[in-house]
Amino acid sequence: MSLLPRIGHSFGVSEGTAGTLVSVYAIVVTIGSIPLGVALASLSRRWTLAILAAGFAIANVGFAFSTNFVEAVVFRAVGGGVHAAFFGIIFVTAAELSGPARRGVALAIIGLGVTCGLAFGVPLGTALGAVFGWRDIFLVASGLLLIAAALFAILLPRSRPEPQSGTRDQVKTLARRPVVASALLITLLLTGHYLAYTYIATFLHHVGLNQGGIAAAFFAFGVCAAAGSALAGIAHKVAPHLASAVAALLISGALALIGLGVQPQSSSALAFVGMGVWGLGYGALVPLIQSIGITSFVGAERLAPSVINSSFNLAIFAGATIGAAALSIGPPTVVVLAGAVLAALSAALLGRQSRTRHG
C-alpha cells in the first residue's frame, strides 16, 4: 500500500484510483479462498505450494512489466487468486506436519513469518522503492518467490492427497452455525484492526508526527508484533479463545490510548507505546486465529485456513471502505476509536466463547 502513490503516478492515475489495485486483490482473495481450497485439497501439498509460489512470482513479473493500468489490475487479480490458494494451504500443511502436540508452535512460526513480512517488508519496500523504483521491488520479490518455490519442492515431504469425498463433507460443515459464528467473529475483530491500521498514518500525521516519527511508530508496531507471534505459541497451549480475547483487549486498549491520549503537540512517546501494545496484540492474533479455526471448525479443519484467509481480506476491504466513509465526515480520531470499539466487542465475544468451551 505504501507504494501506491508511485504506482499511480507511473500509470497517470490518482492515488485513489491506484487503490483499486488493493481492493481488487482483496476481493479476489475473499471470494477465491474457499473454492480454491476445495479444488486443491486432494493435490500434493509439496508440489501445490511450489507451483503456487512460482505462480505468484509470474504474477509479480507481469505486474512489474505492465504497460497500462488495466494490465496492472489484471495481474494483481491473478496474484490475489494465487494468494487465496497459497494461504489456504500453508497453515493446514504446517498443522499436519507438526502433529497436535506441536501445532501451536508450527502455527506461531508461520504466523511470525507473515507478521514480520507485513511489519518489516512494507517499510523496506518503501525505502527501496524510493531508490530503485516500484517495478524493481516486485521483480526482487519475484526472485525470492522462485527461491521459496524451489525450497518447497526440495524440503517438503510427500503427502497423501485427501479423498475428494472428505472434502465435500467439509464443505457441508462450513454451513453449520458454530463455524459461521466463528468466521463472523474473526471478521469483526480483523475489521476493527484494519479499520484503524489502514488510516493510522493519516491519524499520526494529523496529530503532528513527521515522516520519521511515523516510520518509527510502525517499526515499534513491527517489533512488538514479532514478539506477539512468538508468545502465541505458548498461549496456544493454554486456551486459544481466551488468549485471543486478551490479544483483542490489547488492541482495543492500545487504540483507545492512541485515539484519546495522542493529541497535537503531545509527546510522541505515547504514540510509540500505543503502537507497540497494538502490535503485540495483533502479532499474537495471527497464529491464534488459525488455531481457533483448526480447533473450532470441527469437521472442516482443512478448510479453516481458507475461511480465515477470506475473513482477513474481507476485513481489509471492509476496514478500508468504512474508514474512508468515516474520514469524509469526521477527523481520523473517529476511525481509530471505532477500531477500538470493534476490538473490545470482539474480545467480549471471544471471552464468552472461551467460557462456553471450557465450562
175-231 pLDDT tens trace: 666 677 778 888 999 999 988 988 888 888 888 887 778 778 888 888 898 888 878
Cβ(319)–Cβ(23) below 8 Å: no
Question: What domains are defined for the chain?
Answer: 4-358 (1.20.1250.20)
Proportion of the chain above pLDDT 90, given as a percent: 28
Place of cell 485513489: 16
pLDDT band per the 50, 70, 90 thresholds, residue 171: low
Pick the residue with more confidence: 62 or 26?
Answer: 62
Please give the single-letter amino acid code of residue 106: A
Convert the pLDDT of each residue in 256-298 to its tens digit. Answer: 999 998 877 667 788 899 999 999 999 888 878 877 776 666 6
Top mean pLDDT of 105-119, 154-168, 240-254 is at 240-254
89 near 37, Cβ under 8 Å?
A: yes
pTM recorded for the entire structure: 0.77
pLDDT digits (tens, 9 = 90+) for 25-42: 888 988 988 888 778 877
- pLDDT over 80 at 105, yes or no: no
Taken in order 9, 13, 17, 23, is the CA torsion positive or negative?
A: negative
Query: Which residues, 6 or more positions from 281, have their beta carbon under 8 angstroms from its beta carbon?
Result: 228, 246, 247, 248, 249, 250, 251, 254
**Contact residues for 46 (Cβ-Cβ < 8 A; gap 6+):** 152, 153, 156, 157, 158, 159
Q: Where are the beta strands (DSSP E) in the chain?
A: none
Sign of CA pseudo-dihedral 257, 218, 312, 94 = negative
In whole angstroms, what is the distance from residue 104 CA to residue 87 CA? 17
